[in-house]
Amino acid sequence: MALLPPQKVGVKSALLRDALVALSLANLLLLSQWIKSLDSAVNYSHDDALPAPVISFDVLIVAALLFCGARLARRSGGWLLELARISFLLLLLVPVNVLRLRLGAVSGESSNHVLPLFAPLAALAIALFLLAFSRFKRELLALGTKVTLLFSPFVLVTFGQAAWQWRKEGRPSAANTAGILPAAQKRRQRVVWIVFDELDQRATFLLRPSSVALPELDDLRARSWHAENAYPPNRLTMMAIPSLLTGKIVCSLDPTAGASGPSLKMAGEFKGVPVSETATVFKRARELGFRVGVVGWYHPYCRSFAADVERCEDARTLVAKHLGLWGQMKHALASDEMIASLPLGYRLLNRRKTKARRIAYGPELHLLIYQEVMQEAKSLIVDRNVDLAFVHFPIPHLPEIFDRRTGEATASGEGSYFDNLALVDRTVGELRRVLENAGLWDETSLLLMSDHWWRIDAYDFFFKGDLRAEERPFASLPLDARVPFLLKLAGAGGGRSYDKPFNTVLAHDLVLALLRDELRHPEDVDRWFDEKASAQAKDPFFYLYVCK
């Protein structure tokens, strides 16, 4: 594999050396996937983070291909051998490039500026490489071989971690491990709690462009108790969702806390508490005798709350089941991270997506996650054995996966926030019809809300002028952190507006009150919020003050 000029070594020694170099190089080539799988901080929120055993299979396959290719090139000689030597040195740049990207050496801003110079830069880099290769071929090959062999013990580390992960976790279970609950207390209503990621009050209802029609959301709002001034607990999903589930302002989430799993640090507390030990709405509902079902994206819900839910699927388990073992292996080798890790791959990836916004992952994965979550949600919300169904959708958060003009899903990533907003509207309509067809609409209380507002300021900063035309007017508006908060009570018709400000962290207590059948009429909801509403909630960065 080292492809050096002939040396006086035995055949077995040469084969062993080639095999070890091939295995070590293959392991380094998949460094981006190893980081995403084994680094807890990276792994936590990556819904396409593959199990380490899957990456191990890929390493073995790539190593076998490299080994066979090296033996063929050595036997053939001539131009094929020279090509193999050049390829070997180029492949050594992959792990270096991965670490460079990981350390933030390439930002979205710099890539946008360099993008028009892609062709001349690529030509210059190739010319310099070939010049260096022609003059220092033997030295470069020797150095490359030694470096690759030096990192060969890293194979033991990654494969050892894979074995440990396989034994410790296996496939996340979709079933509750704490046993089956006795029949829940007789109830008058059931609760479906839906969170749409980055759904914004201003863009959805108050200043919506005339070209955007949202008939399902408008109709639901007209029939529901709805808040005019609901503010989220954080601008980041990482902390906002745990805040909603615990009913407390979460200041930080540490995915690397230890063997007990991620930990949450609440406002006013000095140390973190493992998520598995936190009194979430799921745990509280279960203690009251209610059955809970969960499906969502971004957070590893099943890994974190398996003991408190009867039914669970998150994006990670859904994507894994959809792809299957072979599909996961192909995904690892053809993902955007792998393309970006190649020399000049980051530029090539951005060039390929000139019309799509350049973000951390592609619209193909986002579309798959949405479709899988939607399919599971349709089943979950009509499960009569579930009293509380929690659904966290990945829309209207970018990337764009819907074209409202054609009414079709798309992985082009060329739309706008308002295209995904139209998909939210379609989703609400489909879920409503699913409930109606199952005869559960009237006996279901539906809470629809968002984890945080539309962060158009962040879009404008990261995309550097890449905002869509219909988005640009919102970038110049003052910050408005309000989010939709709609509550359709079971059996109660007619809309009712509520204008006192409150923080949506109250959703935790609200859901429990609904399960206990304490709120039957819109007036009951008014009185409930009157006791808890706070003018302090109007500050969108309130969490920063309480988290000092």
Q: Cα separation of 539 and 548, whole Å?
A: 15
Distance between start and end Cα atoms, the chain: 56
Indicate the SS3 state at residue 211. Answer: coil
Using DSSP bridges, classify how beta strands 292-296 and 311-314 pair: parallel, antiparallel or unpaired: parallel
pLDDT score of 260:
59
Token digits of residue 360: 């951390």
Considering only CA atoms, which of 330, 300, 275, 321 is closest in space to residue 392? 300
Q: Which of 14, 526, 40, 435 is nearest to 263 (CA)?
A: 40
ω into residue 153 within 30 of 0, thus cis? no
Distance between CA 463 and CA 480 in Å, rounded? 20
| pLDDT tens string 240-274 | 999 999 999 999 888 875 555 688 988 888 888 88
The H-assigned helical ranges of 268-381 are 281-287, 301-305, 315-334, 336-341, 345-352, 363-380
Secondary structure letter of residue 202 according to DSSP = I
> Buried b vs exposed e over 182-194: b needs ≥16 C-beta within 10 Å?
eebeebebbbbbb
**Single-letter code of the amino acid located at 448:** L
**Pair of tokens at residue 259:** 């063997």
Query: What does the pLDDT look like over 265-321, one tens digit per residue?
Result: 888 888 888 888 889 999 999 999 999 999 999 998 988 888 899 999 999 888 888
C-beta atoms surrounding 480 within 10 Å = 18
User: Are 57 and 163 in contact, with CB atoms under 8 Å apart?
Assistant: no
Average pLDDT, the chain: 82
Look-up of token digits 């990261």: 462
pLDDT tens digits for the chain (548 residues)? 556 554 555 556 778 888 999 999 999 888 888 887 776 666 676 666 677 788 888 899 999 999 998 889 888 888 888 888 888 888 888 888 777 776 654 444 444 444 444 455 555 555 665 666 667 777 778 888 888 988 889 899 888 877 876 766 544 344 444 444 444 445 557 999 999 999 999 999 999 999 999 999 999 999 999 999 999 999 999 999 999 999 999 998 888 755 556 889 888 888 888 888 889 999 999 999 999 999 999 998 988 888 899 999 999 888 888 887 777 777 777 766 666 666 555 555 554 454 555 444 578 889 999 999 999 999 999 999 999 999 999 999 988 999 999 999 998 878 899 999 999 999 999 999 999 999 999 999 999 999 999 998 777 666 656 788 899 899 889 999 999 999 999 987 778 999 999 999 999 999 999 999 999 999 999 999 998 877 666 666 666 667 76
Model pLDDT, residue 484: 98
